[in-house]
């Protein structure tokens, strides 16, 4: 384990009295990872890390990267943004060894996001089951969403993308493009999903009108679900997700197209939920985490969003569901940050997004 940098948390974006400088130390837990995308903490102290090219790796409690990837992964599609994405443990993992994986499936001409469940036994996946495949299959290799989170009732939400070229479909309730879906742990549809029984609507849909949702975090204490999504040029959004709500894409946005043309003239419209905040210009938010812990007591209850374009982590303070301020953290690393996590030890963990990716741990300076 190597200490790579020391710093001071001091870059305040929105000035407010709660900002407090804090010394920290960033350590390298392990390297040698190719575009790591997500991680999960096993009960025995080991970690699972997904690599976008299609490997699931085990990192020992001592930081040693197991040479051989986990075997038995379902077949996926790997190109550009497509590949193996999230991994989360079942709430009853200690007794059933089950985990969930999101990944791209299909071919360059016909692909989308898939959710599977499996058991992790002696470094191998067993009893792999496909639970959900987003429809329709589309061409290209962009905008898959792919983040997973469990809600208080044990159901699972999966974020999805709009397929880039099919953005108008984010407003079409008949398909899964540009949606967040909610499923039971066996892949069945919860009876109380907001569009169940509505003609012409996909029953898995939990919310719609999204672009490419790569962050999702559930606040169990306050029963709130937060997500963030990539805008085009500007218009990255942080949203409070409520079942059945429409978040506007592409009819409402603060962003503009990559050509410079306006996606829409509207930044708000009746019937569409406004974001809690938007980042313009884009920071490219890539994961979202709610911190609950005592190792950094000043951070307890705050949201953290990793970013790719800004090469940072945004600390977002919310009070009673309202924005109270932001800080930009870890810019001194000069690394694209794919994901941020709160570890069981109270430390923050970061995944760097490159061909020689690392797992980093952030701890207070003692």
**So which residues are the catalytic ones?**
143
Among 180, 174, 157, smallest CA distance to 244 is for: 180
H or E segment and range at residue 324: strand 322-329
Count of Cβ atoms closer than 10 Å to residue 268 Cβ: 11
- Report the C-alpha gap between 91 and 97 in whole angstroms: 10
Helix-, strand-, coil-residue percentages of the chain, each rounded to 5 = 5, 45, 50
Cβ neighbors of 172 (< 8 A, separation 6 or more) are none
Q: Are 109 and 117 in contact (CB under 8 A)?
A: no
- Report the C-alpha gap between 119 and 142 in whole angstroms: 29
- Report the C-alpha gap between 155 and 216 in whole angstroms: 14
- Report the C-alpha gap between 155 and 92 in whole angstroms: 13
**Three-state DSSP class for 355?**
coil
């Amino acid at each position: 384990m190597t200490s790579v940098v020391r710093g001071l948390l001091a870059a305040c974006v929105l000035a407010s009295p709660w900002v407090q400088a804090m010394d920290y130390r960033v350590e390298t837990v392990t390297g040698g990872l190719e575009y790591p995308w997500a991680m999960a903490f096993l009960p025995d102290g080991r970690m699972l890390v997904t690599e976008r090219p299609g490997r699931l790796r085990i990192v020992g409690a001592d930081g040693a990267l197991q040479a051989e990837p986990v075997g038995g992964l379902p077949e996926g599609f790997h190109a550009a943004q497509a590949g193996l994405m999230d991994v989360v443990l079942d709430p009853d993992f200690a007794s059933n060894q089950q985990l969930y994986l999101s990944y791209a499936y299909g071919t360059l001409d016909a692909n989308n996001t898939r959710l599977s469940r499996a058991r992790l036994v002696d470094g191998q996946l067993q009893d792999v089951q496909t639970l959900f495949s987003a429809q329709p299959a589309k061409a290209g290799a962009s905008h898959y969403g792919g983040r997973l989170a469990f809600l208080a009732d044990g159901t699972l939400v999966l974020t999805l993308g709009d397929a880039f070229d099919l953005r108008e479909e984010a407003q079409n309730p008949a398909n899964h493009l540009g949606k967040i879906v909610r499923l039971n742990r066996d892949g069945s549809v919860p009876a109380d999903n907001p569009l169940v029984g509505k003609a012409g609507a996909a029953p898995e849909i939990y919310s719609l009108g999204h672009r490419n949702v790569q962050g999702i975090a559930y606040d169990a204490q306050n029963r709130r679900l937060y997500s963030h999504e990539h805008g085009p040029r500007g218009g990255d959004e942080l949203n409070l997700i409520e079942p059945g709500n429409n978040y506007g894409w592409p009819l409402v946005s603060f962003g503009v197209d990559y050509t410079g043309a306006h996606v829409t003239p509207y930044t708000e419209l009746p019937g569409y939920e406004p974001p809690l905040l938007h980042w313009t210009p884009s920071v490219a938010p890539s994961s979202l985490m709610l911190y609950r812990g005592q190792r950094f007591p000043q951070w307890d209850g705050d949201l953290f969003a990793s970013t790719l374009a800004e090469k940072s982590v945004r600390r977002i303070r919310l009070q009673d569901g309202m924005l109270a301020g932001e800080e930009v953290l870890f810019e001194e690393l000069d690394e694209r940050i794919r994901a941020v996590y709160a570890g069981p030890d109270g430390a923050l963990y970061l995944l760097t997004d490159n061909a020689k990716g690392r797992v980093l741990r952030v701890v207070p300076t003692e």
